[in-house]
Structure 1
Amino acid sequence: MEPSCDLEIDVNGKEVFLVDKKILSSFSGKLGKLLSKAAAAAVTRPLRVIFHDLPGGAEAFELLARFCYSHGEVALVTPANACTLHCVAHFMGMAELSSPSSPSLISQTEKTLQGIPFWSWPEILGALKQCQEFLPAATSAGVLGKLLDSLAGRIASPLSAASPSDDSSPESSGFRFSCDTGCSASTKNSGSHHRLWWFEDLSCLNPSAMEKAAAAMVSRKMDHAAISRFLFYYLRVRVSAADATPPEKRKAMDAVVGLLFSLDRCSVTCKGLFGILHICSCLNPSKLCRIRLEKMIASHLDQATLDNLLVPSPLVFFLAGCVSPPRLRRVGDLMDLYLAEVAPDSSLKAEKFASIATVLPDAARVNSDGVYRAVDIFLEVHAAALSEEQRARICGAVDCGKLSPASSRHLAGNSRFPARAAVRPSQRRYPAEDLAGRRRSGGGEREQVVLYARKLEVSEEETEKLRVHLRGMQWRVAELEKLCRRLQGQMRKMTATGGRSRTLPRLCS
């Protein structure tokens, strides 16, 4: 009997097939259930079934229909289509009607999939490219896990002979922003050249498939430095693609940053992170992506250079966790250089400059010459636009007790600084000088009493100096009171949170 065309099947809204409902329903449990419901409802009009998100689309459904029409006698399954056919067979419920006595597409595809460990690299990569279009179906059918396990095994094997020519290595493709600046010797030496051939091959995967492939590499205990180098390369390729849309670029960035965040700190390079930051200035990444990038940059900030910081970006950095004193001092030196670089910018607001200058704790600066130089430059450029309160806050970033003698002399005669700030260097030196003078005099308590009992003949110039010194002491007392109140507030917060260690503040806002 000739097969009829009594059923229309719309595949993903792209193509319509006219098929014999009895033939297909005899192999597809899903289709059989749909048709039985229509028969129970006594539907008389022509039947039409619409499938959304059918794995493999029209091409896969055509192969499935050929299998059904030939009653399983046509050999269709090859490594090129085994994964797609296996997924579409599961989607159509063909496993429900399979039996040892009847031909089964599921059993044929499973037999082919058992040979995945022996497939060639192009066959594995081609199958993975197909599966990335229907990842949920490939995952539930168990196909994706087998492919990724074999893929990671090939990459991790030092004896793999699937390496293409050296031209596909990222080292020869103009990619430079992360691979040559490591935080340890392991970053430079790991991921040797026999592991670089797969960079270009995997860069064609979409972000979702790439995430799963990278996770499989991590589960295989692959070197994190090699994985991070691939992630930097992947992001560079995806962002620079001419046909990539902004949402696709953002999705790639979110995926790469999330994976880098899960790797060891020393496997991720400082230069590479600032390369991502540069890309971020052109995109609008998710909030989670920004937070993760900020935390990673914070952990590498002591390795950054001034050029790294001079990147226009809406992001802020965080100095999080317990930072060791040597690293914190390197960050302090870097921030002083940064402040001196941006201070001449006439569009820089006083509030932002002050927040950057005062964000670091006192332990970050052994010497205040750098921040004093930056503040002096800022005051010179912005003096006319600053209020007295703004000027005082900016000058408060300079700890005059840490200034060198040369800077202290310069500050004493610096008219751009308020008078109370100009006398701060002498406030800590006078007691020491008095003590040294008394020791040199060799006198005791009696001699001091006689000294102070004399009539003081003080010149007008010395009187003015004493008056300025007194004003400076009063200002210093007021500053210490403010600091005391601030410390008391912080102690109350720490007590309220159970005494946990306090993270350092934001670098800038």
Structure 2
Amino acid sequence: MLFPHKTRLTMKRAGLNQLSRSCRPSVYGRRRNHCVIVPAKVGRISNALERREHTWFVRTNDVSDLTVIVGEDSFHLHKVHLHAPSFQIPMLSKSGYLNKLVFNRMNNEAADSSISMHIDNLPGGCQIFQLVVKFCYGVAVDLTATNVAPLYCAAYFLEMTEDFGHGNLISKAQAFLSFIIFSSWRDTFNIFTSCEDVSFWAQELGIVKQCSESIAWKACLDPQAIGRVVNDDELCFKILTNNNNSKNKDGGASEIVEECWWFKDVSVLRIDHFVEAICAIKTKGATPRLVGNCIAYWTSKWLQKFKLHSDSREAHRDTIESLIRVLPNEKNSVCCNFLLHLLKAGWMLNIDHELTTELEKRVAMMLECCCAGDLIVKNYRENDTVYDVSLVIRVVQAYATHFTRDLTSGMRLAATVVDDYLALVARDDMLSVKAFQLLVEALPADARHCNDKLYRAIDMYLKAHPKLTEEDRRIVSRAMEYHKLSKEAREHAMKNDRLPLNIVARLTLSEQVNATKSILSNNLKYRRSESEETVRATRGIDNSRWFKYHKKLQMMKAEVEKMKLQVCSLQVCKVELQRQMRIAPK
């Protein structure tokens, strides 16, 4: 017999509405679903199962002649009826596994001798075997969400099928298991938790798959069709009965459930069960962004408990690899910052190289459309930089390797993001010159059409590191091209005593050459205009006045020639400075 606790209603009623009504006292009343089972027929009835330390005894009038040792506990049972030897007790008549073991031993030993046997790999161990013994001896067994899955696995292990009696343990446990998975959202997760110790059997018997599909079906319902309620089981009950009224019992309008209402519950699952649930949710048609957000939520909770110990590295490595493999392939399904944290954890744990490379490329693809804040990943070790700059360097290098062909506009967007990030990390005292240089030079030279943001980052770095040598300041500043600076930036740079001397000299010389060229160009235009006016004015006047203007014109030409010589002299100085800079050690 199988009947829900206290209600004594059978599970033979068909249909969703009848099933929902039958479980309403336990679901809607916020009590866990559970029921009491007994076998349909028993050859021996016992009142109780007694325990004395690690030894269990069935309370009967017969002497025990069968000892089953499970783990550290031993169970003193019976293989035959003392007064009717041909009559087998329910323990053997309901379990094909025990039946074969006992009768194989009886063929080799005396029929009336006691038999002792070990069962070392029983799913659920001695706690579950205790329930099996109670069931076989006619003692009522209380099934709950926390024990039904391992009991179902143990029943399969012991071969307690219908071939050994109608209403055997497999059928009863399976019926209640299917019922509770379908009816209760909360208890589905309790079943998931109970499967952790019987993982192999739970996978083989499809328990994990059933739980995953149940969660996926409920999670993928239209959230606008579900009213927000206080209790998870109450929510599940509303789903099952299609009770989508817009008013609650108090007459107030119920709020709409958010699309991610199930994230918190799913985040408690172990990684293998979480992956199963996510795969089922994908199959049900959830949007890639919703799936990605759920994976990010689970990972954020897991990373808070992440501790890198030698004895747990392999488990953590498997976790990261599983998360990467289950990520949706769509580009915007997960944010750049989450992928960077996942990548950092993968490097720390030395995960599969192919997965690392694919993750790097995926983050690099998002570089053009993210912002500097998305690249922030903190370091937590002492004597290290505040932010993990090496992580960003590798991503930018991957971008330069795979995504810079014929993408000038996109490359400039990426350069802007990198320069903004440089400004964020430049104040870090622990950031080395080498790291700063590598990040600046990770992109091609033509990636930046304007160096103003780069100059700002360089200036902030030099300000935060006042003890740098002249050579270090040259290394930091050498990627900056002065002709790509705006007028305001050039004026600021020429007065900036933090910049190395060669950069200041180059900027000053360039500014003087440009100013001289500008003056010369303006003077030539002015003189040309003035000479034309002079020629026109001399027409119709006397020769003396014409010679006077002609003399002025000759003086102006001489002045122009003098300015040309000055420009040539400046050019020579410029070439000499450039030569000296090339000769100077870098």
- Shorter chain as denominator, the TM-score bin is 0.5 to 0.7
Q: CA RMSD in A?
A: 5.1
Give matches, 1:49-448, under 5 Å.
Answer: 49-52=118-121, 54-70=122-138, 81-95=147-161, 98-99=162-163, 104-113=168-177, 115=179, 118-158=182-222, 164-165=229-230, 193-238=257-302, 250=316, 254=320, 257-258=323-324, 261-270=327-336, 276=341, 287=351, 297-302=363-368, 304-313=370-379, 314=388, 316-317=391-392, 318-319=395-396, 320=399, 321-322=402-403, 325-379=408-462, 382=465, 384-386=467-469, 388=471, 390-411=472-493, 416-417=499-500, 419=502, 422-423=505-506, 426=510
Where does residue 466 of structure 1 map in the other structure?
572
Match of 1:6 among 62, 66, 85: 66
Alpha-carbon distance between aligned partners in 2 of 1:34 and 1:418, rounded to the nearest angstrom: 91
Q: How far has the Cα of 1:373 moved from its partner?
A: 2.9
Could you tell me the percent identity over the aligned residues?
23
CA distance change for structure 1 residues 119 and 470 in 2, over 3 Å: closer, same or farther? Answer: same
Alpha-carbon distance between aligned partners in 2 of 1:161 and 1:382, rounded to the nearest angstrom: 58
Equivalent pair of 1:278/1:311 in contact (CA under 8 Å): no
* Matched position secondary structure for 1:266: coil
Alpha-carbon distance between aligned partners in 2 of 1:41 and 1:459, rounded to the nearest angstrom: 120
* Matched position secondary structure for 2:332: helix
Q: How far has the Cα of 1:6 moved from its partner?
A: 2.8
CA distance change for structure 1 residues 127 and 163 in 2, over 3 Å: closer, same or farther? Answer: farther
Alpha-carbon distance between aligned partners in 1 of 2:475 and 2:492, rounded to the nearest angstrom: 20
* Matched position secondary structure for 2:217: helix
Counterpart residue type for residue 578 of structure 2: G
Q: How far has the Cα of 1:110 moved from its partner?
A: 3.8
1:19 aligns with 2:77: yes
* Matched position secondary structure for 2:69: strand
Offset from partner CA, 1:478-499 (integer Å, 9 cap, x none): 9xxxxxxxxxxxxxxxxxxxxx
Alpha-carbon distance between aligned partners in 2 of 1:167 and 1:223, rounded to the nearest angstrom: 23
Alpha-carbon distance between aligned partners in 2 of 1:347 and 1:244, rounded to the nearest angstrom: 24
Q: How far has the Cα of 1:298 moved from its partner?
A: 3.7
Q: How far has the Cα of 1:408 moved from its partner?
A: 3.8
Counterpart residue type for residue 351 of structure 2: K
CA distance change for structure 1 residues 329 and 195 in 2, over 3 Å: closer, same or farther? Answer: same
Q: How far has the Cα of 1:217 moved from its partner?
A: 0.5
Offset from partner CA, 1:111-135 (integer Å, 9 cap, x none): 4455467423334333233223322
- Using the size of structure 1 for normalisation, the TM-score is 0.66
Counterpart residue type for residue 418 of structure 2: M
Alpha-carbon distance between aligned partners in 2 of 1:161 and 1:457, rounded to the nearest angstrom: 84
CA distance change for structure 1 residues 363 and 151 in 2, over 3 Å: closer, same or farther? Answer: same
Where does residue 181 of structure 1 map in the other structure?
none
Alpha-carbon distance between aligned partners in 1 of 2:336 and 2:377, rounded to the nearest angstrom: 14
Offset from partner CA, 1:135-187 (integer Å, 9 cap, x none): 2211101222122112211221227759642999xxxxxxxxxxxxxxxxxxx
Q: How far has the Cα of 1:354 moved from its partner?
A: 0.7
Structure possessing the higher relative contact order (Cα contacts under 8 Å, 6 or more residues apart): 1
Alpha-carbon distance between aligned partners in 1 of 2:423 and 2:145, rounded to the nearest angstrom: 62
Q: How far has the Cα of 1:385 moved from its partner?
A: 3.7
Q: How far has the Cα of 1:366 moved from its partner?
A: 1.9
Alpha-carbon distance between aligned partners in 2 of 1:163 and 1:331, rounded to the nearest angstrom: 43
**Which of the two has higher C-alpha Rg?**
2
CA distance change for structure 1 residues 32 and 421 in 2, over 3 Å: closer, same or farther? Answer: farther
* Matched position secondary structure for 2:453: helix
Alpha-carbon distance between aligned partners in 1 of 2:435 and 2:283, rounded to the nearest angstrom: 44
Where does residue 175 of structure 1 map in the other structure?
none
Equivalent pair of 1:260/1:268 in contact (CA under 8 Å): no
Offset from partner CA, 1:220-276 (integer Å, 9 cap, x none): 1112333333333334445557x99985995797378436733533232346557x5
* Matched position secondary structure for 1:265: coil
How many residue pairs match? The answer is 434
Equivalent pair of 2:267/2:298 in contact (CA under 8 Å): yes
Alpha-carbon distance between aligned partners in 2 of 1:33 and 1:166, rounded to the nearest angstrom: 48
Alpha-carbon distance between aligned partners in 2 of 1:472 and 1:265, rounded to the nearest angstrom: 47
Equivalent pair of 1:332/1:364 in contact (CA under 8 Å): yes
Equivalent pair of 2:148/2:177 in contact (CA under 8 Å): yes
Q: How far has the Cα of 1:74 moved from its partner?
A: 6.5
Alpha-carbon distance between aligned partners in 1 of 2:422 and 2:505, rounded to the nearest angstrom: 21
Counterpart residue type for residue 477 of structure 2: C
Alpha-carbon distance between aligned partners in 1 of 2:103 and 2:478, rounded to the nearest angstrom: 82
CA distance change for structure 1 residues 402 and 108 in 2, over 3 Å: closer, same or farther? Answer: same
Counterpart residue type for residue 75 of structure 2: F
CA distance change for structure 1 residues 364 and 165 in 2, over 3 Å: closer, same or farther? Answer: farther
Alpha-carbon distance between aligned partners in 2 of 1:21 and 1:401, rounded to the nearest angstrom: 97
Counterpart residue type for residue 20 of structure 1: H
Equivalent pair of 2:66/2:77 in contact (CA under 8 Å): yes
Equivalent pair of 1:411/1:422 in contact (CA under 8 Å): no
Equivalent pair of 2:203/2:209 in contact (CA under 8 Å): yes
Offset from partner CA, 1:193-223 (integer Å, 9 cap, x none): 3543323333332232222111211121112
